[in-house]
Amino acid sequence: MKIIVTGGAGFIGGNFVHYMVNKYPDYKIICLDALTYAGNVETLEPVMNKENFMFVKGDIADRKAVYSLFETEKPDVIVNFAAESHVDRSIENPEIFLRTNVIGTSVLLDACRKYGIKRYHQVSTDEVYGDLPLDRTDLFFTEETPIHTSSPYSASKASADLLVQAYGRTYKLPVTISRCSNNYGPYHFPEKLIPLVIANVLNDKTVPVYGKGENVRDWLYVEDHCAAIDLIIHNGKAGEVYNIGGHNERTNLQVVKTIINALGKSEDLITYVTDRPGHDMRYAIDPTKIKNELGWEPATTFDEGIKKTIKWYLDNKKWWENIISGEYQKYYEKMYSKR
């Protein structure tokens, strides 16, 4: 089996590449990644020299490059992680989100039609469902929840999902979509909440909490997400959507305090800053379908996962210090200095 993993130099795609290369020595795993600010070849270092792995630098929205890769490699399966993924950046500059997340997806789908594949899998997000109110803890996102987006990021991901479903119905392309809740774990880019807090606390810098820190996210350890996608591409039914999440809801403030306490630092580092515009209140996934149909269940609780994650950031300082010492400083200054 030959699998093209797009966005495999990023956080979740990188973890997925490691997972698949190690689990399936007989498969060929090809990572296609444009190496944007979020892509990092160092994330692929543990697999770079493995015989069943190949890295190709390329843009999913570049039709010529994508067709040429399909022509030479004739992949069986495509797993599309490649995306602009940060909500705050989408609020600053939506256009690149449309180019990569929508046009890029359409180019991949066209390549699948032209060359033929066994499965196209779209890695989507729970953010396509919008948000849930904080005072209705009985409500969860199911696969039937209407699409109702809040940010340019989630609107672009929802547009991509609709295109994937349209290609499934109109051209009978064998597609699946997964919608996962917030991931955390190794190789998470430090612009996102958990790695940002770990890096700031370790550097004794203040920790910016948007609004009152009451917003709720449903956290999933990244390896559990990888295992779910592995199951979907092998056993999932074409045309289906699968929600992925493990009932690990926490307020942002709970998450921040857990990290500060685990690192033995003072909660005085917490600084409340201007809220994110359009900030979604609560995400919470109902994972019944993937549990019943594919037997998936998360293996890692939040308490275990956050300990493993903190340890990884302590053991792999070079990986994230390289990132935060470069261009990232300009980003941080722009987003947080006057907030």
Could you tell me where the beta strands, DSSP code E, fall in the chain?
Answer: 2-6, 28-33, 53-57, 77-80, 119-125, 175-180, 183-184, 207-210, 216-218, 220-221, 241-244, 249-251, 270-273
> Does the protein bind ligand NAD through residue 36 (CB under 6 A)?
yes
Catalytic residue among 33, 59, 84, 126: 126
What is the CA 333 to chain-centroid distance, rounded? 24
How many Å is the maximal CA-CA distance in the chain? Answer: 57
> Does the protein bind ligand NAD through residue 102 (CB under 6 A)?
no
> Does the protein bind ligand NAD through residue 183 (CB under 6 A)?
yes
> Does the protein bind ligand NAD through residue 90 (CB under 6 A)?
no
- Report strand pairing: 77-80 vs 241-244: unpaired
> Does the protein bind ligand NAD through residue 125 (CB under 6 A)?
yes
**Whole-number minimum distance, CB 204 to ligand NAD, in Å?**
26
> Does the protein bind ligand TDX through residue 192 (CB under 6 A)?
yes
The verdict on whether 127 is a catalytic residue reads yes
**Length in residues, the chain:** 339
* Burial of 146: CB neighbours in 10 Å, binned 0-12, 13-18, 19+: exposed
The verdict on whether 126 is a catalytic residue reads yes
Pick 119 or 269: Cβ nearer ligand NAD:
119
> Does the protein bind ligand NAD through residue 324 (CB under 6 A)?
no
Pick 82 or 324: Cβ nearer ligand NAD:
82
* Inter-residue contact 48 to 29 (CB < 8 Å): no
> Does the protein bind ligand NAD through residue 10 (CB under 6 A)?
yes
> Does the protein bind ligand NAD through residue 107 (CB under 6 A)?
no
- Report strand pairing: 2-6 vs 28-33: parallel
CA distance linking residue 194 with residue 185, whole number of Å = 9
Binding residues for ligand NAD, rule CB under 6 A, total 29
| Chosen from ligand TDX, ligand NAD, none, partner binding at 309 (C-beta under 5 to 8 Å by type) | none
Which residues belong to the active site? 126-127, 153
Residues that bind ligand TDX (CB under 6 A): 85-87, 125, 127, 182, 192-193, 196, 208-210, 215, 217, 252, 276
